[in-house]
Chains A and B, each alone.
Chain A
């Protein structure tokens, strides 16, 4: 009997296991883009309120990550990349993840409402709902466009940041949303082309599996072409500036060149050089997003400093 009780309590999670539920790396991107959305807005925010707002957005993102891990524990266990996540690894019980996800969602939304305004809190609640329910529960396992629509969840943070400052939605915040929304598919599909995936085994309809790799290459080019006008267009709104416009033109040319290279290649070429181009474009896509939001921040800084 003592043996049994010991083996049961052996599974008790530590603080770090709970933290891992919140997808810290995704959270860092959310914090960065939300912070930019908040700082480029034309309305100044008290630093403490800004800090609390970003914290709420980060915790909300983490909570939706925990809900995603709760729902997807069965498929996570089947894929090598995700098999070591806390739930399939047995470090956290599924019910705990659900509880943490729901509790933190509630706290994050309520605190954001108290600290800022109803629109920001409502957008955060919708983002959590969208990621946990629309993406994880509904689309991820049923359509090859899962990445496209799921990308919307990742695109909301700068919009929430903007709403924290202004209490509204505007062309600028919608374009920042569109930038991440259009960027997510080529970014993810470039990854899907070179990572030896086991999505098929887990029964997830990734584009590479359902429509084939050739079609994925076409999709990458098409979405990158749609992304360019959005990215450059931001440069002509009130948050754009010379730094942003320069960065946008250069980065878009670079990314578009990469997407074109992926498009012209066949899978045989890709196998021959161990997916060198696909890996390069994936890295470019990471610089791409960071550079765009970083440049927005620089232009906002220049405006605040009176240089522009």
Chain B
């Protein structure tokens, strides 16, 4: 009795795995792309350094400097 190694099902599974892999790669690309675009759209890069619920010495210095 021979064991049939390749079955049509294996092709379908391979297709599914590749499709899923491709979708995940595209998702990573989208999130990365969005990050780049959003950061570049900030204009003033110091907006990154806004209040984030913890004490941030650099912010204190900034407000002091402007007063």
Say what secondary structure dominates the interface of chain A: helix
Give B residues with C-beta under 8 Å from A: 9, 12-13, 15-16, 18-19, 30, 33-34, 37, 41
Asked if residues B15 and A10 are in contact (CB atoms below 8 Å), the reply is no
Please tell me which one of the listed residues B12, B19, B34 contacts residue A12 in the complex, with CB atoms under 8 A apart. B12
User: Interface code A7-35, partner B: CB below 8 Å = 1, 0 otherwise?
Assistant: 00110111100100000000000000000
A-B contact pairs, 12 of them (CB 8 A): A9-B9, A10-B9, A12-B13, A13-B12, A13-B16, A14-B12, A14-B16, A15-B16, A18-B19, A46-B41, A48-B37, A52-B30
A52 lies within 8 A of B12 (CB): no
Considering only CB atoms, which chain B residue lies closest to A46 in the complex?
B37
Judged by a CB distance under 8 angstroms, whether A171 is at the interface is no
A204 within 8 A of B: no
Known A-B contacts A48-B34, A111-B30; the reply to A15 vs B15 at CB < 8 A is yes
Interface size on A, residues (CB 8 A): 15
Chain B CB within 8 A of A148 CB: no
In contact, A52 and B13 (Cβ under 8 angstroms): no
**In the complex the two chains form, is B13's CB within 8 Å of A115's CB?**
no
Distance from A207 Cβ to chain B, minimum over Cβ atoms (Å): 40
Instruction: A49-B34, A52-B30 are known; give 11 further A-B pairs, CB within 8 A.
Output: A12-B12, A12-B13, A13-B16, A14-B12, A15-B15, A15-B16, A18-B19, A46-B37, A46-B41, A52-B34, A55-B30
